[in-house]
Amino acid sequence: MVVRKAMEVIRMAYFNICPRCHATLDPGEKCDCEEEEKQREEFFMRNIKEIPGTGQLALRLEREGTGYEEKTVG
């Protein structure tokens, strides 16, 4: 794209914008925001559970040799 401004020629950079996260992408580059969101959701589904009765969330923190240790959040 070329813009003419007061007898000057300015060349504009060409890029695309992701409609979801509004990141600027190089021509032909595919945004990975959907994949990152999916991975983040899967991580939390694996590592957080709700404690029955209280509704609190518990983190499952893996410790070497002991499996999971539960910690209460909040």
pLDDT for residue 2 is more than 90 = no
Of the candidates 67, 47, 66, the one whose C-alpha atom is nearest the C-alpha of residue 57 is 47
Please give the residue range of the domain that contains residue 41.
2-72
pTM: 0.52
User: 46 burial class (0-12, 13-18, 19+ CB within 10 angstroms)?
Assistant: exposed
Q: What is the pLDDT of residue 26?
A: 93
User: How many domains does the structure of the chain reveal?
Assistant: 1
Taking the C-alpha atoms of residue 10 and residue 5, their distance in angstroms, rounded to an integer, is 7
Taking the C-alpha atoms of residue 19 and residue 33, their distance in angstroms, rounded to an integer, is 10
pLDDT for residue 30 is more than 70 = yes
pLDDT for residue 32 is more than 90 = yes
Average confidence (pLDDT) over 41-62: 89
What percent of the chain has a predicted confidence (pLDDT) above 90?
A: 41
